[in-house]
Amino acid sequence: MSYKNCAMIITMSSDGVVQRAYRFRFYPTPQQEDLLRCTIGCCRLVYNKALAARTEAWTTRHERIGFAETSRQLTLWKNTEELSFLNDVSSVALQRSVRHLQAAFSNFFNQRGDYPEFKKKSHGGSASFMRTAFTWDGRDLKLAKMGEPLNIKWSRTLPRSAKPSSVTVILDAAGRWHVSILVEEHVKPLPKAGTQVGIDMGLTDFAITSNGEKTANPRFRKRDAQRLRKAQRDLARKRKGSNNHRRAMLKVARIQARIADRRKDFLHKLSTRIVRENQTVVIEDLAVKNMSRRCKPVADPQQPGRWKRNGQTAKRALNRGITDAGWRMLRTMLAYKCEWYGRQLVVIDRWYPSSQICSTCGKNTGRKPLNVRAWTCPACHTTHDRDVNAAKNILAAGLAVNVCGDQRKHRDALSQCEA
């Protein structure tokens, strides 16, 4: 097994100036809501038409259409009779939709994302406005073609003398309105800390650190599983396209939004505490998408309409637990917070056998089933907690790459992987 390029180190930029988005809830008037819904719908239409045009050009003629050609097509669409309503909304928001599609294709061609998908009305939507399409006086925000400022609930204060570079209005699937204000801010690095920590992710305990601290897994989806299950059953009984179906969809979306909000709040608090207390943070590069592959249910021939209670039931429960945990979201938060505050994040290879190696003597004792939570090393007779031992090995592997850039030490640490 090759361990070439198995670590990634993320450090803070030298200038300390970052672009930071502040998100707030706002409550539009009926007139503002009509205009915003029309703007979001037009942005979604332009995005989908541009995506269809670019896809059709490539599949039929093997022709690649870029941003300039798509912008010219947008102008032609606005001059047609059937799409003349595009002139009723801000042209800046429509142009930004084309920009977002171009960014999605760039990520796809650079292997940073999947092929762009068509946007759905049921998922809500968003519209972005640049400086020429909104006015900001330090207190009130007014968008283009809007006579009154937005009624924003300022849950936190913006930096002094902040000048927003862009504003994004977001309508989520639960019917809530948010505004995201992007500003440039100078983030002051935190004082240097003399501690390092390795973190092992789990399901029984969400995060286990190398110093023995365990953070319980809150399991937010499991808490609301009964309410969500009932709401989804009610939704399945409604006729698609009816008002009852839309109301049932909104109820499901609100439950899911509540779960997502609590999960994000928990991860923000945990990641901030980890970054404040430690100078170096080491984590594993977990392949969450591969770990949470969906299992097909198996029908029970003896009980029609029911599924067999076999090993796949446990697999589906495991998959739900992995997707509910939010491991990737924690890694993303740790990455940008370490960059902001002058910390260092080291990501070691996903194939590093952290749970197989004894953190005391370095002996590789082989694979262990998930039900083995504690084990004794046959070489040094040290009894280990499975997760704490893995966290210690993760920290050791991360520090091996970090010490003066000495890759030899890292290869020595990884050489224990060979059985």
Question: What is the set of active-site residues?
Answer: 200, 284, 387
pLDDT above 70: residue 308: no
What pLDDT is attached to residue 288?
73
What pLDDT is attached to residue 287?
75
Residue 33 to residues 28, 37, 128, 381, Cα–Cα distance (Å): 6, 6, 15, 68
pLDDT above 70: residue 307: no
pLDDT above 70: residue 336: yes
What pLDDT is attached to residue 159?
84
What pLDDT is attached to residue 12?
41
What pLDDT is attached to residue 236?
95
Q: Write the pLDDT tens digit of every residue in 210-251.
A: 999 999 999 999 889 999 999 999 999 999 989 999 999 999
Q: Residue 236, exposed/middle/buried by CB under 10 A (0-12, 13-18, 19+)?
A: exposed
Question: Global pTM?
Answer: 0.83
More confident residue, 287 or 295: 287
Q: Write the pLDDT tens digit of every residue in 62-75.
A: 898 999 999 999 99
Task: Give the closest residue to 271 by CA, choosing from 193, 183, 335.
Answer: 335
What pLDDT is attached to residue 186?
85
Confidence of residue 138 (pLDDT cuts 50, 70, 90): confident
Q: In the chain, helix, strand, coil percent, each to 5?
A: 45, 20, 35
